[in-house]
Amino acid sequence: MRPFAYERAATAEEALARCDEETRYLGGGTNLVDLMRLGVERPARLVDVTRLPHDRIEERSSGALRIGAAVRNSDLTAHPAVRRHHPMLVQAVLSGASGQIRNQATVGGNLLQRTRCSYFQDITKPCNKREPGTGCPAIDGEHHNLAILGHSESCVATHPSDMAVALAALDATVLTRGRGGERAIPLADFYRLPGSHPERDTTLEPGELVTAVEVPPLAMPSRYRKVRERASFAFALVSIAAAADVRDGVVRDCRIALGGVAHRPWRARRAEDHLRGRPLTRENLAGAADQELAAAHPLRDNAYKLRLARNLIVRTLLELGERA
Amino acid sequence: MNAIGSRSRVEGREKVTGEARYAVEHPVPGAAYAWVVQSTVAKGEITAFDTADAEALPGVLTVLTPDNAPELAPVSDGELAVLQGRKVSYRGQIVAAVVAETLETAREAARLVRVTYAARRHDVRLTPDHPGRYTPDEAEDGPWQARQGDPEDAFRAAPVRIDCTFTTPAEHNNPMEPHATLAAWDGDALTVHDSNQGPSTVRSTLAKVFELDPARVRVISPHIGGGFGSKGTPRPNVVLAAMAARAVGRPVKLAFTRRQMYALTGYRSPTVQRVRLGAAEDGRLTTIIHESFEQSSTVREFAEESTTPTRVMYRAPNRRTAYHLTRLDVPSTSWMRAPGDAPGMFALESAMDELAVVLGLDPIELRVRNEPDGHPEDGRPFSSRNLVACLREGAARFGWSDRDPTPGVRRVGRRLVGTGVAAATYPVLRSPAQATARANADGSYTVRIAAIDLGTGARTALGLIAAETLKADPAQVTVEIGDSDLPRAGLAGGSAGTAGWGTAVVRACEALLSKLNGHVPPEGVEAAADTTEEVKGQGDEYARHSFGAHFAEVEVDVDTGEIRVPRMLGVFATGRIVNAKAARSQFLGGMIMGLGMALMEESVLDEAFGDHLTADLAQYHIPANADVRDLDAVWLDEHDPHVNPMGTKGIGEIGIVGAAAAITNAVHHATGVRFRTLPLTPPRVLPEL
């Protein structure tokens, strides 16, 4: 492991001032420290941002929740307002990692975790995300759990976060602080598709610090469902965050986001558009899923994700409708 | 359920409080740390080392490469020829090692070692018709293959036939404690604190490799954090740690990381198994043909022996079993819990289920109809065999009699529900050992033997055995194990530990009793035993095996392909049980590993690079607590006077044998689909639903 300096910042200004291109912000460290051990990340300096005053969850007068970036995942899932208003978000976070890791991991770190693609994590192999221009062995290699949507010739990685999938469905906004001041980045614009620059996961500027996530109110029943290769402690094969306002059997409004299918949480807007105003039937749901998945390009060994995503859309929305 | 006793582990408190020291945790002044450099090609030659940057790093003591490593005496296991040449035989092989003042420095310096290779095209793909495939001792009815009657003709003539091929993946042991060694030299005397499955074996291996008098080698291993077979033979860590300690003249600690273990400490070979069963209309088998195709590395020949259990299971006048190896440019295969038996019984017991379905016969009844009177190959009587009793007892406990055999018809919401059964077997083995027993003046006893406790509770079990022989309270007996300076003993392996060590402990205690005359002098009374003659002299007039039966209920989600196992029951006939509490734990542990084998465990090999990609516990899935639901293990009261003085049969492995087949048979019952490739993950299952 490369020797590195460890510093604690007390304020965002202090953190920003100390940040250069060889610095990484340290939250819970549950992903970053692993990557440092593997040699994937080799920062010269870590600036610990868990002591910044970003560890609270506030209810705004608008009904929105402002969740500080340093809030621990466990605290997020235990917060009464989050539990009351956003069951989908609670379910998503609780479906990730383990109790011990959630006690340590922060909201900001959860957003910024890196792909778990095997090739990315092994510095003895090429990877365009880790070392641009070296190639992507996953395309012809092991990719059964990689992307079916929005991938490129340079990268087929998926984003591993469950929380981010729920936040995508919730139209959350990421609040940041950078050298240019504060920004509010809609989650839809926060994550990137890989294109020819898979080394960049997000649209954050160098040194820009995530300070909070703002979640607007949602007046629809919601849920998160994750399919994985064991009952707990595994990344999603495909997951879904869904909400639906169904009255008299008709979908008035809905939200659908998929995890495990792309380089970013995949907001299924085509499926949503297809469903709005239509009766909540298996047929319409399948049609909506097909609309969304028409753009998919499965790899050799992950076409099963098409059917899985389609089934999850149909089943989760039907279950939400039954509750209405 | 009967047992000699039911006792918590005697070292339990030490373990839960963290007092128990594992290999590299032993505090030693002045220890240095070693870190390995692994090859990044799967086949070729090293053309150059550049160690300048590594050596320049402050705190680096030495960089060992084949160019400066001391010459070791050759041993049969090529994995132990650490740094003995520039040839690369698999990706991840140790090609250099750094020794430094701190672990972090050693790790960083290892990254700075630059190795240049002349790579050659590698071959890591196992296929049944691989041109390099071979069958050693092809002409003989040796362990590689066995044949009776005319199995192929009988198959062609059989009224009912099953001919199917099963595939199991490479699987890795994941003991909690990695393979780890603390090595220290004092002149030409070597002491290692090492994580292994047999200190006597490690001592003799180190003595050979370093050409030392075995009396000058000491292996200390009081507590082991699991092995499952992967520590059954000394691994490169113990040789390299000793080599490094000698090179720097200081104690050296070396622990493999989880990722390194995936290349360096062995794994279960993938298998391709073809099973042919021929039967009469009433279900009586006329022929059994079971062939397995497996891989070995080029540095160490190891056969998974997947067809061996088939030789003892069912009656059939015509039969053939054989396994074939292909040497590939892969990391070395080795022992993993129930080597051969676990994948082999998945195939055989799946095929038996397929036959039951074709015949429209209850799968338990099919097995009962094919129960042999004696060993199916030669008619020798079994010392005891209670397979049918296990099946009957399990059927009663599990509620089997109500079962509708029709596949694919039970539905609860969006889940298909089914139940399955499979048989289990494991041979009864033991190896010779020595032991001493001492009566102390204060009324207590001390038993000494170089046995080892992998975490199974061996120390506690031997205490119960000694106490029973001595007619003493177990609390009065102290058992000293885990040190090669103790009386020599065999491995914890082949489910033979308790049987072999226990025999020696019983004999030593008997010898002690015959010396005692009611009075113990202040210096105590000691007696010794050596069971070499007794164990080697045991005839093969009896076939000695354990048997069992697994029952499983599964739920298969039709939308996602997820499989859950709400219920599993194992019923075992394994002779006398020593420690009821620990035994149950052993059976359950085996069954959970079988659940992992059925549903999730798979080491994915990258054909382009030649190594296993799933090299951590996030990617190599073993069951989490949430996967394990209502799980139960029971045993029959089986009395077997022909195995050993305790009447025990060994319980460490049979729990995994057949467990996967019970689950996959239940999946067929639930879905009507037969999955013949493990594991049954959603990507495999969903497309077939």
Overall number of domains in chain A: 2
Beta pairing class for B415-427 and B545-557? antiparallel
Q: With CB atoms and an 8 Å threshold, state whether A308 touches B682.
A: yes
Residue B139: what pLDDT? 40
Q: With CB atoms and an 8 Å threshold, state whether B608 touches A39.
A: no
Q: Identify which of B605, B24, B588, B619 has the alpha carbon closest to the alpha carbon of residue B267.
A: B605
Residue B135: what pLDDT? 83
Q: A116, A124, A238: which to substitute to probe chain B, counting the most B Cβ within 10 Å?
A: A124
Residue B518 banded pLDDT, cuts 50, 70, 90: confident
Residue A2 banded pLDDT, cuts 50, 70, 90: confident
* CB within 8 Å of A114: residues ≥ 6 apart: A31, A35, A40, A120, A129, A160, A201
Task: Provide the shortest C-alpha distance from residue B197 to chain A (in Å).
Answer: 29
CB B428 within 8 A of CB B649: yes
Q: With CB atoms and an 8 Å threshold, state whether B40 touches A124.
A: yes
Residue A129 lies in a domain: no
- Over range A312-318, report the average pLDDT: 98
Q: With CB atoms and an 8 Å threshold, state whether B560 touches A232.
A: no
Residue B260: what pLDDT? 98
Q: With CB atoms and an 8 Å threshold, state whether A304 touches B561.
A: yes
Question: Would the pLDDT of B587 be above 90?
Answer: yes
Q: Is B145-171+268-428+544-688's fold the same as B429-536's?
A: yes
Residue B470 banded pLDDT, cuts 50, 70, 90: very high
Q: With CB atoms and an 8 Å threshold, state whether B624 touches A227.
A: no
Q: What is the dihedral of CA A181, A184, A189, A190, to 10 degrees?
A: 70
Residue A9: what pLDDT? 96
Q: With CB atoms and an 8 Å threshold, state whether B618 touches A234.
A: yes
What would the two tokens of residue B318 be?
Answer: 């015509």
Residue B141 banded pLDDT, cuts 50, 70, 90: very low
Q: Which of A3, A121, A144 sits opposite B683 (nearest CB)?
A: A144
Q: What is the CATH number of the domain that holds A297?
A: 3.30.390.50
Residue A176 lies in a domain: no
pLDDT in tens, A148-183: 999 999 999 999 999 999 999 999 999 999 999 999
Residue A154 lies in a domain: no
- B623 CB within 8 Å of a chain A CB: yes
Compute the mean pLDDT over every residue in chain B, rounded to the nearest whole number. 96
Q: Taking the CB of residue A132, how many other CB atoms lie within 10 A of it?
A: 14
Tell whether domain B429-536 is in CATH 3.30.1330.90: no
CATH tag for B145-171+268-428+544-688 (out of 3.30.365.10, 3.30.9.90, 3.40.50.300, 3.40.50.10860): 3.30.365.10
Question: Would the pLDDT of B45 be above 60?
Answer: yes
Q: Where are the domains of chain B?
A: 23-121+173-264, 145-171+268-428+544-688, 429-536
Taking only Cα atoms into account, the Rg of chain A, rounded to an integer number of angstroms, comes to 19
CB A258 within 8 A of CB A187: no
Residue B143 banded pLDDT, cuts 50, 70, 90: low
Residue B144 banded pLDDT, cuts 50, 70, 90: confident
- Residue written as token pair 């630059």: B114
pLDDT in tens, A87-136: 999 999 999 999 999 999 999 999 999 999 999 999 999 999 999 999 99
| Touching B: A residues 72-131, CB under 8 Å | 116, 118-119, 121-122, 124-125
pLDDT in tens, B283-338: 999 999 999 999 999 999 999 999 999 999 999 999 999 989 999 999 999 999 99
**Residues of chain B positioned with their CB less than 8 A from the CB of A36:** none
DSSP B396-462: HHHTGGG----TT--EETTEEEEEEEEEEEEE------EEEEEE-TTS-EEEE-----SSS-HHHHH
Q: With CB atoms and an 8 Å threshold, state whether B608 touches A315.
A: no
pTM for this one? 0.97
Task: Provide the shortest C-alpha distance from residue B579 to chain A (in Å).
Answer: 32
Question: Would the pLDDT of B407 be above 90?
Answer: yes
- B678 CB within 8 Å of a chain A CB: no
Question: Would the pLDDT of B137 be above 70?
Answer: no
Residue A258 lies in a domain: yes
- Over range B154-158, report the average pLDDT: 98
Q: With CB atoms and an 8 Å threshold, state whether A1 touches B108.
A: yes
**Residues of chain B positioned with their CB less than 8 A from the CB of A301:** 683
Q: What is the CATH number of the domain that holds A15?
A: 3.30.43
Residue A24 lies in a domain: yes
pLDDT in tens, B70-129: 999 999 999 999 999 999 999 999 999 999 999 999 999 999 999 999 999 999 999 999
Q: What is the ipTM of this complex?
A: 0.97
Residue B539 banded pLDDT, cuts 50, 70, 90: very high
- Please give the backbone phi and psi of residue B626, each rounded to the nearest 5 degrees, phi first: -65, -20
Residue B519: what pLDDT? 86
- A42 CB within 8 Å of a chain B CB: no
pLDDT in tens, A201-229: 999 999 999 999 999 999 999 999 999 99
Q: Which of A2, A116, A229 sits opposite B621 (nearest CB)?
A: A229
Q: Identify which of B250, B264, B254, B245 has the alpha carbon closest to the alpha carbon of residue B194.
A: B254
Residue A232 lies in a domain: yes
DSSP A149-191: SS-BTTB------SHHHHHHHTT-EEEEEETTEEEEEEHHHHB
Question: Domain B23-121+173-264's class?
Answer: alpha beta
Rounded Cα gap, residues B504 and B498, in angstroms: 10
Q: Which of A140, A235, A304 sits opposite B687 (nearest CB)?
A: A304
Residue A287 lies in a domain: yes
Catalytic position from the list B171, B177, B305, B653? B653
Task: Provide the shortest C-alpha distance from residue A145 to chain B (in Å).
Answer: 9
Q: Which of A231, A235, A307 sits opposite B626 (nearest CB)?
A: A231
**Residues of chain B positioned with their CB less than 8 A from the CB of A302:** 683
**Residues of chain B positioned with their CB less than 8 A from the CB of A237:** 682-683
Compute the mean pLDDT over every residue in chain A, rounded to the nearest whole number. 96
Can you give the residue range of the structural domain that contains A259? 222-323
Residue B1: what pLDDT? 66
Specify whether B653 is catalytic: yes
Element of type H or E holding A89: helix A87-94
For residue B639, with 0-12 CB atoms within 10 Å meaning exposed, 13-18 middle and 19 or more buried, which class applies?
exposed
CB A29 within 8 A of CB A101: no
Q: Which of B560, B615, B624 sits opposite A227 (nearest CB)?
A: B560
pLDDT in tens, A230-248: 999 999 999 999 999 999 9
Q: Identify which of B289, B421, B403, B281 has the alpha carbon closest to the alpha carbon of residue B363.
A: B421
CA atoms within 13 A on the CB side of A262: 26
Helix axes B580-599, B659-671, angle to 10 degrees: 50
Residue B140: what pLDDT? 42
Q: With CB atoms and an 8 Å threshold, state whether A124 touches B559.
A: no
Q: Which of A1, A229, A307 sits opposite B104 (nearest CB)?
A: A1
